[in-house]
A and B are shown apart, each in its own frame.
Chain A
Amino acid sequence: MKALDAEVVVIGAGVVGSAIAKELSGYRLSVLMVEARPDIGDATSKANTAILHTGFDASPGSLESRLVARGYGLLRDYAGRVGIPIEDTGALLVAWDDEQLSVLPKLQAKAKANGYDATQIVDADAVYARVPALGPGALGGLLVPGESIICPWTTNLAYATEAVRAGVQLRRNWPVERIEVNDQVTTVHGPAGDMTCRWVINAAGLGADRIDAMFGYERFAIVPRKGELLVFDKSARALAPVIVLPVPSAKGKGVLISPTIFGNVMLGPTSQNITDRTDTATTVDGIEFLRRKGMSLMPELMMEEVTAMYAGLRASTQHDDFIIEADLAQRYVVAGGIRSTGLTASLAIAEHIVVLLNEAGLRLRARQDLPGPMRMPNLGEGFMRPYRDEQRIAADARYGDIVCFCERVSLGEIHDAFASDIPPVDLDGLRRRTRAVMGRCQGFYCGARVQQLLDQCAEERP
């Protein structure tokens, strides 16, 4: 029999697929990760609110509740090891009417049921003491000290980089179109060719139901739920010292105000079911809705300039929980419906899948020959950036050559991104790896030079 291309194929290189690939790379097993888009982390994982959730408000007893709580701790540890920036801002859930106020004790009880004991109910004065810029009318709040902010891009990239360095093969621009399952071998087909494997893991995000259908299932149907967000100028950062959460309602988590790891403030998301899985455009109505919300939540914030606008699509399904199941007969695992907490839960999802694979009889043996520890470039505003690092600049002048002025991204960091294990292929990818061009001027000053660097890099690529 012809050798297999890999023992396991992971479909999708979002934060979930990349976490799975990284986890599997720790075992003696050949793994291939395929991604339809030109780059990893280019779908839902790039467009979220980037909060490391404690899981205090999950449905107790659900798989999601368990994996979010577990993922929170795992990701914190991992972030510390590889240098993913996290800021422990904490969150303040604010009640704006009597009904919401009456929900706070219930939320506190729910948090306890989820194993999270650190919440605290506070009065209106304490709310304004913590966030003086809040609009009038707050009646009280619930403190959730563990909620933190994290860099979603570095997280996804760190997983994928660690996987690739440990030998996982990554294929970008490789959409899976058809899957054939035989006795011993599964063949995965795409326009770029075929690949053979024994196991398939479906982490295809918004496309997960389609992959699932290729295995004959009709377990779930994905309804993309659009979330639009506005990101405000860095001058606004002091207005939002903590994450300001709304009281969740039947309609979802609601609109929040959060500092970002890059030093901005974000307002959103909206929540709108749509049909087109590729429609990540912001809308006139969505922006208007956020403006109105912002005016009542924090009027001062609305005086600041908007630096960025984007929309992400939650992969929601008819079920209220993650769908993570193994099919031994077809040697197939699905991780679907990872809607609004997948960034936080990612490492726990991967860990859970390893358990499922072990139970299914795939003999996973830990590797002893893993490459040494790695360190990701820091994109966090709260940590040392190269432009301030005297020693780094003394050693290599390119770190003192600032290309993107608004975000203070140096030529050295841009060159590092091009020379990395998973180099960017377009402006958006470079932005996610370095922050270049994502600042307040949106390219007025540096857009042309950055484009030049990208073109030059594309020319030099073999």
Chain B
Amino acid sequence: MTARSGDLHVDVAVIGGGPAGLSAATHLRAAGVGDVLIIEREHQAGGIPRHSQHTGYGIRDLHRVLNGPAYAAELVARAEACGARILTGAMATGWSGPLSLDVTSPSGVYRVHARAVIIATGARERPRTARMVAGDRPSGVYTTGQLQNATAIWGQHPGSRAVIVGAELVSWSAVMTLRHHRCHVALMTTQYARAESYAAMTLPGRLLLGVRVATRTQVVQIIGKDRVQAVRITHLDSGKSALVPCDTVVFTGDWIADNELARAHEVAVDPTSSGIIVDAGLRTSAAGVFAIGNVVHPVDTADVAALDGVHVAAQVADYLHHQSWATAPVELQAAGALRWVSPGRIDPSGPAPARSRLLGWGSTVLRTPTITVEQGGICLSRQKLVWPMSPGRAFRMPWSILANVHPSRGPATITVA
């Protein structure tokens, strides 16, 4: 980028260079779209995997198992090799038109005018304040993201004794990071009756990690003037409370989609998931604006986010070609143990979503969940799944359950029990 400040015209602007945005750009270029610009606010593209040093990335999209930084580097290399432009250190701060973005970077302030925009801004963990945990405001309080950023990128050290709030998949990632830095995990707490993803983990996994998990337990207070000294935990059923000494608290999971740009543009957002509402083609409520990755479904794994990128590329290329934008007719609603579902709108006669899967989030552990689909008071299908639902990780449902949905009979409800 040599121009200082001013207007930039591109075919597609991708906001966010994480797994979703990078693979969208790669596949847009492969589909023959001319000018694709990724706007990434960090100094390096790659998103969350940049500082997630453990392995487990790339299985479904690259068909390899990589650690986070290697995976991020691979996706960046592919995007660049395909001729996508990546503007790093550049933050989209707002909109100056329906498909125009205000961007700040060290090289200047730009207005990026695009023919289509893809929002791929990811999700963050809900911090202590948003969980309204009372008490002092000492140092030593983290989210997993901050902890891994601090240790992996900046070489900082956590304390020596930690309490982890939450028992989602990401929480175990926090355990591994703390272990690596010789920080003892004194306790993991979860409000659920069973440690959500823990229940779904294999026995060897549990034995290996050997962390004490307090179920139906909430951290209600943080104590310590300068550095954390203890947390107060309360049992949700008995009301009993206890102090747990520690110098580090990690608030994990409980995701919030980074939906600020969407909300600033009046792009519809699901109040339950905080994710941007899309249809099966990853179209949002605003013409020409698409959304992919964890900002749509907070959260699934990185490879699933990347496959959104593959899926959206064909949709965007098609839109650039035909310039038509239709709103999918049927709203999908979640009920029972299903907290939310994405896509939130569908066109029964249109193409299937990415991976022919619906994504959702569960509020309880179900070994063999039953999915019921209803529309206009009529039951359209009922199906027992062979995989479990557990809170704290995405719940995937086959697209085929919606086979009988009618385009003009109002919203369809998916109930999981």
Contacts and interface: CB of A to CB of B under 8 A. Distances in A.
B256 A305 contact: yes
Nearest to A411: B106
Contacts of B134: 281-284, 286-287, 309
Nearest to B126: A305
Q: At the interface, is chain B mostly helix, strand, loop or mixed?
A: mixed
A442 B144 CA distance: 12
B146 A393 contact: no
B154 A452 contact: yes
Interface in A211-239: 230, 234-235
A278 B260 CA distance: 37
B5 A397 contact: no
B149 interface: yes
A449 B225 CA distance: 23
Interface stretch (A313-321, A353-361, A398-406): A398-406
A303 B130 contact: no
Given A278-B225, A400-B109, A444 B104 contact: no
B297 interface: no
Nearest to B224: A281
B323 interface: no
A172 to B, nearest CB: 16
Nearest to B234: A284
B119 to A, nearest CB: 15
A120 interface: no
A390 B145 CA distance: 32
Given A287-B132, A309-B132, A400-B104, A448 B127 contact: no
A306 interface: yes
A388 B136 CA distance: 35
Interface string B305-341: 0000000000000000000000000000000000000
A402 B154 contact: no
B4 interface: yes
A142 B368 CA distance: 59
A291 B132 CA distance: 10
A42 to B, nearest CB: 12
Contact of B106 (A278, A281, A309, A393): A393
Contacts of B156: 448, 451-452
A314 B176 CA distance: 44
Contacts of A281: 134-137, 221, 223
Nearest to A410: B104
Given A400-B104, A448-B154, A405 B137 contact: no
Contact of B146 (A310, A405, A447): A447
Interface in A382-436: 387-390, 393-394, 397-398, 400-402, 405, 408, 427-428
Contacts of B102: 388
Nearest to A228: B134
A255 to B, nearest CB: 16
Given A284-B220, A451-B150, A387 B135 contact: no
A443 B130 CA distance: 13
Contacts of A449: 149, 154
Interface string A151-179: 00000000000000000000000000000
A194 B54 CA distance: 56
B27 interface: no
Nearest to B148: A448
B271 A303 contact: yes
B127 A441 contact: yes
Contact of A443 (B91, B104, B143, B225): B143
A77 B129 CA distance: 36
Given A394-B4, A400-B109, A442 B128 contact: yes
A408 B271 contact: no
A306 B104 contact: no
Contact of A310 (B109, B137, B143): B137
B41 A405 contact: yes
Nearest to A442: B127
A421 B139 CA distance: 26
A415 to B, nearest CB: 13
Interface in B60-109: 89, 91, 93, 102, 104-109
B137 to A, nearest CB: 7
B154 A387 contact: no
Interface in B104-161: 104-109, 124-130, 132, 134-137, 139, 142-143, 145-146, 149-150, 153-154, 156
A305 B260 CA distance: 12
A143 B134 CA distance: 34
B30 to A, nearest CB: 30
B106 A451 contact: no
A390 B127 contact: no
Contacts of A427: 139
Contacts of A234: 260
B263 interface: yes
Contact of B41 (A287, A308, A402, A444): A402
B135 A393 contact: no
Contact of B150 (A287, A401, A402, A448): A448
A78 interface: no
Contacts of B142: 443, 447
A410 to B, nearest CB: 8
Contacts of B220: 284
A193 to B, nearest CB: 24
Interface in B1-21: 4-5
Contacts of A398: 106
B124 A393 contact: no
B41 to A, nearest CB: 6
B145 A388 contact: no
Given A393-B108, A400-B107, A306 B5 contact: no
Contact of A308 (B106, B125, B129, B271): B129
Nearest to B143: A444
Given A284-B221, A451-B156, A390 B125 contact: no
A306 B129 contact: yes
A153 to B, nearest CB: 16
A448 B143 contact: no
A388 B150 contact: no
Given A235-B260, A303-B271, A442-B127, A393 B104 contact: yes
14 contacts: A235-B260, A305-B130, A305-B256, A307-B130, A309-B129, A309-B132, A310-B137, A388-B93, A388-B102, A408-B93, A444-B127, A447-B142, A451-B154, A452-B156
Interface of B: 4-5, 41, 89, 91, 93, 102, 104-109, 124-130, 132, 134-137, 139, 142-143, 145-146, 149-150, 153-154, 156, 220-221, 223, 225, 256, 260, 263, 271
4 smallest beta-carbon distances between A and B, as pairs: A442-B127, A448-B150, A397-B106, A400-B106
Given A280-B136, A444-B143, A448-B150, 12 more contacts: A291-B132, A306-B129, A307-B129, A308-B129, A387-B104, A393-B104, A393-B109, A400-B106, A440-B130, A444-B146, A445-B146, A449-B154
